[in-house]
């Protein structure tokens, strides 16, 4: 993590079998346009693949996009796997169709922030720049 | 013509004398075409009634595919349903039929759609979540237990595994004593839109198209009442493209499928009557109705002029429509009842032949019994409490509607030509340019929502500060996977494993060669081979699709 760099690096990942990638691609474009470096995994990534990519790419944050209702299960597994690989310093963010009642639960298992559908662009960019500033 | 000139002159006068005396706001269509304040006959100077509109049941079918439309047969109310175990889905189907539903529509879970069995560790969290889990014929037997297949039709939202599910449906019929020529329904079986927007593809395009050709060919001879494919514009629209692109992509895909069947020497009139279509119903009432009408006219012309069909049934675009789920919102979910009502009305006014009404809680979960009943009632209220079903094409003749119909047809044709010029839809999919185009459009649309240019009530305007009452959501049962694992284990222990191996080898042999795969797949499902086992063999031979980046 000692590489010199000026731009925030984000891994946007689609875990599980869910094929809805509209949101993931919208956020990828948004963050790129805001000057961040975005790596988008594409569909159907296993938890192992995501963790490996995050470590190899030395990203500042993992952003999961989930619209199949299994956000709690998949986020929990990802965070556990990061811990197992001693990479728990990489924060995890979740976007997608997330019922409001699930947000506190996601935060309890270690998700840093949740951005549901139509979350404000300004809020998203502001959050990334503020938390991961370089 | 003189009349039209006179009307135009009068209209210009009216603009000058009255309209332009006071300021008024601008308006444009969703794809950015500026709108006048009022439409009159002179806007339709490019329309010849008999040639361009005609009568329902007659070419170019813009006013509907059947002469009496809903007076002859009401649209089929077909709620997309299925979740958890086959037993739970069987109970939901029986509930829907009791509530007056007319046809079934099966939602499968993602593992079934993508060819993984419930015991595959990769799918641990997804068994029975967004639809019902099917590993073997046993599960399909349970789903349709007590539902006679010769009395209903069933729609299957399944694509790369469509051949397997079709084989299982035939086998269930067989066990019920219903022969294949008596079963009917619709397979979605539209692989191209999976690469473009929906994401359940397994194999690369060429072998996927072969499987589709096999299904078309097999059904023509054996399952004549099955709509072999439901060609979708809906999913690209949901992924963010405009309604112009929705029509263009859908028809370009349809042309690819037709060409695949023609390559086998099948006559257009032997299979085109069994092609069906799925387009979305959105919130812009006039635009959307115009879109369906334009799509029907375009398709009829393509089949008649490009493919030289003789049978008018080949030219009929029979349509299933669902409300656009992306028009519904996660916040203030009850507002979605109003939205779904409008979108269902759109589908009915468009002359769609089957309709799904999106439930207010569907953004979050499988609908509850209460929300799905509300959707059924929405359709029934429109069918029986309004006059929407009283006449064919009730909005036809509205100057505005006819103007939009002409414009949408023109724009969609232009977009189709543009894609053809760049090498065609298949090339665009393989290179990823279509996917990038859709993603770019989705981003632009979201920017408009963010800026407030496109108003979404309860999201970017009229947002309430009060804490929302959260609606009751469906609770997925915790033990679906365990139950599926138990049943799968039992089936595997009781089946003839020699027979399974023989059947899978036969699939491998035919897949490597050129024969029709439906026969061997049917034998394998009869032996209780699993969806995952059959797909594994096909993957060995066909390989797997790599997403374009």
**Residue B442 distance to chain A (closest CA, Å):** 7
pLDDT tens readout for residues B206-217: 999 999 999 999
Residue B126 to residue A22, Cβ atoms within 8 A: no
Best CA proximity match to B213, nearest among B515, B436, B429? B515
Is pLDDT above 80 for B198? yes
The rounded Cα B493 to chain-centroid distance in angstroms is 38
The rounded Cα B212 to chain-centroid distance in angstroms is 16
Compute the CA torsion angle A80, A83, A89, A93 (nearest 10 deg).
-10
Q: What is the largest CA-CA distance in chain B?
A: 87
User: Topology of domain A9-131, per CATH?
Assistant: Rossmann fold (3.40.50)
* Cis, bond preceding B7 (omega within 30 deg of 0): no
Specify the pLDDT at position B444: 97
Annotated domain spans of chain A: 9-131
Give the count of Cβ contacts less than 8 A between chain A and B. Answer: 89
Which residues in chain A have Cβ-Cβ distances shorter than 8 Å to B450?
A: 118, 120-121
pLDDT tens readout for residues B362-414: 888 888 989 999 999 999 999 999 999 999 999 999 999 999 999 999 999 99
Q: Angle B185-B188-B191 (CA atoms, 0-180°, nearest 5)? A: 155
Q: Would you give the DSSP letter of residue B44?
A: G
Beta strands in B413-535 (DSSP E): none
Q: Is A84 helix (H, G, I), strand (E, B) or coil?
A: helix
Distance CA B401, CA B28 (A): 14
Residue keyed to tokens 């009850």: B334
Angle of helix B518-526 relative to helix B162-176, nearest 10 degrees, comes to 60
Is pLDDT above 60 for B305? yes
- Structural domains in chain B, CATH included, are 49-54+68-451 (3.20.20.240)
- Residue range B344-372: mean pLDDT, rounded: 93
Please tell me if residue A64 touches chain B, with a CB cutoff of 8 Å: no
Compute the CA torsion angle B506, B512, B517, B521 (nearest 10 deg).
40
Pick from B125, B363, B450: CB nearest A70: B125
| DSSP codes joined into one string, B251-271 | HHHHHHHHHHHHHTT--HHHH
Beta strands in B422-542 (DSSP E): none
Specify the pLDDT at position B46: 84
- Residue range B182-200: mean pLDDT, rounded: 97
Specify the pLDDT at position B388: 97
Q: Would you give the DSSP letter of residue B356?
A: E
Pick from B126, B198, B200: CB nearest A16: B126
Between B232 and B477, the more confident residue is B232
Taking CA atoms, B321 is separated from A99, B196, B353, in Å, by: 27, 19, 8
User: What are phi and psi for residue A120, nearest 5 degrees?
Assistant: -70, 135
Q: Which helix (H) or strand (E) holds A62?
A: strand A61-66
Residue A19 to residue B199, Cβ atoms within 8 A: yes
Nearest CA in chain B to A17: B110
**Residue A34 distance to chain B (closest CA, Å):** 14
Is pLDDT above 90 for B468? no
* ipTM value for the complex: 0.93
Which residues in chain B have Cβ-Cβ distances shorter than 8 Å to A77?
A: 125
Angle of helix B497-512 relative to helix B531-542, nearest 10 degrees, comes to 30
Question: Which pair of tokens denotes residue B178?
Answer: 């219903």
Please report how many Cα atoms fall inside a 13 Å half-sphere around the Cα of residue B525, on the Cβ side: 30
Please tell me if residue B473 touches chain A, with a CB cutoff of 8 Å: yes
Taking CA atoms, B538 is separated from A37, B510, B520, B521, in Å, by: 38, 10, 12, 11
Which residues in chain B have Cβ-Cβ distances shorter than 8 Å to A19?
A: 110, 194, 198-200
User: Digits of tens for pLDDT over chain A (134 positions)?
Assistant: 445 578 999 999 999 999 999 999 999 999 999 999 999 999 999 999 999 999 999 999 999 999 989 999 999 999 999 999 999 999 999 999 999 899 999 999 999 999 999 899 999 999 999 999 77
Residue B447 to residue A100, Cβ atoms within 8 A: no
Pick from A17, A22, A97: CB nearest B126: A17
Please tell me if residue B122 touches chain A, with a CB cutoff of 8 Å: yes
Residue B129 to residue A116, Cβ atoms within 8 A: no
Q: Average pLDDT, whole number, for chain B?
A: 96
**Residue B441 distance to chain A (closest CA, Å):** 9
pLDDT tens readout for residues B275-287: 999 999 999 999 9
Pick from A26, A99, A118: CB nearest B442: A26
Specify the pLDDT at position B549: 66
Pairing mode of beta strands B229-232, B226-227: unpaired
- Residue range B75-81: mean pLDDT, rounded: 92
Query: Could you give the residue ranges of the DSSP H alpha helices within B277-398?
Result: 285-301, 312-315, 335-349, 369-385
Specify the pLDDT at position A133: 79
Question: Which pair of tokens denotes residue B500?
Answer: 């399974």
Residue B443 to residue A74, Cβ atoms within 8 A: no
Are B358 and B80 in contact by the 8 Å Cβ rule? The answer is no
Please tell me if residue A18 touches chain B, with a CB cutoff of 8 Å: yes
Residue A97 to residue B363, Cβ atoms within 8 A: yes
Residues paired with B322 in a beta bridge: B280, B356
Specify the pLDDT at position A4: 59
Question: Which pair of tokens denotes residue B511?
Answer: 């897949």
Which residues in chain B have Cβ-Cβ distances shorter than 8 Å to A116?
A: 330
Specify the pLDDT at position A3: 53
The rounded Cα B17 to chain-centroid distance in angstroms is 48
Mutate to test the interface with B, among A12, A15, A21, A119 (most CBs of B within 10 A): A21
Pairing mode of beta strands B318-323, B275-281: parallel
Specify the pLDDT at position B331: 86
Nearest CA in chain A to B459: A118
Distance CA B243, CA B251 (A): 12
Are B184 and B149 in contact by the 8 Å Cβ rule? The answer is no
Please tell me if residue A26 touches chain B, with a CB cutoff of 8 Å: yes
Q: Which helix (H) or strand (E) holds B499?
A: helix B497-512
Nearest CA in chain B to A73: B125
**Residue B260 distance to chain A (closest CA, Å):** 26
Mutate to test the interface with A, among B133, B190, B446, B447 (most CBs of A within 10 A): B446
pLDDT tens readout for residues B154-188: 999 999 999 999 999 999 999 999 999 999 999 99
Specify the pLDDT at position B365: 81
Specify the pLDDT at position B238: 97
| DSSP codes joined into one string, B202-252 | -S-HHHHHHHHHHHHHHHHHH-TTEE-EEEESHHHHHTT--HHHHHHHHHH
The rounded Cα A51 to chain-centroid distance in angstroms is 11
Which residues in chain A have Cβ-Cβ distances shorter than 8 Å to B443?
A: 25-26, 29-30
Question: Which pair of tokens denotes residue B456?
Answer: 């979404």
Please tell me if residue A1 touches chain B, with a CB cutoff of 8 Å: no
Mutate to test the interface with B, among A26, A41, A49, A121 (most CBs of B within 10 A): A26
Nearest CA in chain B to A66: B364
Q: Which helix (H) or strand (E) holds A94?
A: strand A92-96
Distance CA B228, CA B188 (A): 8
Which residues in chain A have Cβ-Cβ distances shorter than 8 Å to B199?
A: 18-21, 43-44
Pick from B125, B330, B549: CB nearest A97: B330
Query: What percentage of residues in chain B have a pLDDT greater than 70?
Result: 99
Is pLDDT above 70 for B273? yes
Angle of helix B243-263 relative to helix B285-301, nearest 10 degrees, comes to 20
Is pLDDT above 90 for B469? no
């Amino acid at each position: 993590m000692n590489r010199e760099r000026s731009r925030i690096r984000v891994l946007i990942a689609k875990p599980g079998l869910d094929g809805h990638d509209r949101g993931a691609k919208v956020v990828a474009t948004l963050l790129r346009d805001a000057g961040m470096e975005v790596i988008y995994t594409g569909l159907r990534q296993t938890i192992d693949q995501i963790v490996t990519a995050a470590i190899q790419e030395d990203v500042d944050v993992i952003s999961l996009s989930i619209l199949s209702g299994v956000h709690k299960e998949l986020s929990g597994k990802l965070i556990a796997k990061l811990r197992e690989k001693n990479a728990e310093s990489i924060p995890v963010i979740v976007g997608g169709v997330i019922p409001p009642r699930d947000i506190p639960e996601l935060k309890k298992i270690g998700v840093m922030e949740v951005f549901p559908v139509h979350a404000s662009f300004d809020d998203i960019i502001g959050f990334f720049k503020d938390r991961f500033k370089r | 013509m003189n009349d039209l000139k006179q009307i135009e002159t009068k209209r210009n006068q009216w603009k000058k004398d009255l309209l332009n005396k006071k300021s008024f706001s601008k308006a444009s269509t969703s794809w950015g075409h500026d709108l006048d304040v009022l439409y009159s006959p002179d806007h339709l100077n490019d329309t010849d009634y008999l040639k361009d509109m005609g009568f329902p049941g007659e070419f170019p079918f813009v006013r509907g595919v059947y002469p009496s439309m809903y007076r002859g047969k009401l649209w089929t109310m077909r709620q997309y349903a299925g979740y958890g175990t086959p037993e739970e889905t069987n109970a939901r189907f029986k509930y829907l039929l009791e509530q007056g539903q007319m046809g079934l529509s099966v939602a499968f879970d993602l593992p079934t759609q993508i060819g993984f069995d419930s015991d595959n560790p990769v799918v641990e969290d997804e068994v029975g979540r967004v639809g019902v889990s099917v590993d073997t014929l046993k599960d399909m037997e349970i789903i349709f237990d007590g539902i006679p297949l010769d009395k209903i039709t069933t729609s299957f939202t399944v694509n790369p595994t469509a051949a397997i599910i079709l084989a299982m449906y035939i086998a269930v019929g067989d066990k019920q004593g219903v022969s294949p020529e008596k079963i009917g329904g619709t397979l979605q079986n539209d692989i191209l839109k999976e690469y473009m927007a929906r994401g359940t593809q397994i194999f690369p395009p060429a072998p996927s198209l072969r499987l589709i050709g096999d299904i078309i060919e097999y059904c023509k001879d054996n399952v004549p009442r099955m709509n072999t494919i439901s060609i979708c514009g809906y999913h690209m629209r949901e992924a963010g493209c405009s309604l112009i692109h929705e029509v263009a992509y859908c028809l370009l895909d349809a042309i690819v499928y037709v060409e695949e069947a023609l390559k086998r020497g099948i006559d257009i009139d032997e299979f085109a009557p069994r092609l069906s279509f799925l387009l979305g119903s959105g919130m812009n009432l006039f635009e959307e109705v115009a879109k369906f009408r334009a799509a029907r006219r375009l398709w009829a012309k393509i089949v008649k002029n490009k493919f030289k069909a003789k049978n008018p049934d080949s030219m009929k675009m029979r349509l299933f429509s669902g409300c656009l789920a992306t028009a519904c919102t996660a916040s203030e979910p009850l507002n979605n009842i109003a939205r779904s009502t409008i979108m269902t009305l759109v589908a009915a006014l468009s002359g769609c032949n089957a309709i799904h009404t999106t439930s207010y809680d569907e953004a979050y979960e499988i609908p509850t019994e209460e929300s799905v009943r509300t959707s059924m009632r929405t359709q029934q209220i429109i069918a029986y409490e309004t006059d929407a079903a009283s006449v064919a094409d009730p909005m036809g003749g509205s100057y505005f509607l006819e103007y939009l119909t002409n414009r949408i047809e023109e724009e969609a044709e232009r977009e189709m030509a543009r894609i053809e010029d760049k090498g065609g839809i298949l090339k665009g999919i393989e290179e990823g340019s279509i996917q990038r185009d859709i993603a770019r459009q989705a981003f632009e649309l979201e920017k408009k929502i963010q800026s407030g240019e496109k108003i979404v009530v309860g999201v970017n305007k009229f947002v309430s500060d009060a804490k929302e009452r959260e609606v009751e959501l469906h609770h997925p049962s915790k033990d679906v996977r365990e139950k599926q694992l138990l049943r799968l284990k039992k089936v595997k222990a009781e089946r003839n494993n020699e027979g399974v191996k023989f059947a899978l080898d036969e699939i491998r042999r035919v897949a490597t060669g050129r024969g029709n795969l439906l026969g061997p797949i049917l034998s394998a499902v009869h032996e209780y081979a699993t969806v995952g086992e059959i797909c594994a063999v096909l993957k060995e031979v066909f390989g797997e699709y790599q997403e374009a980046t």
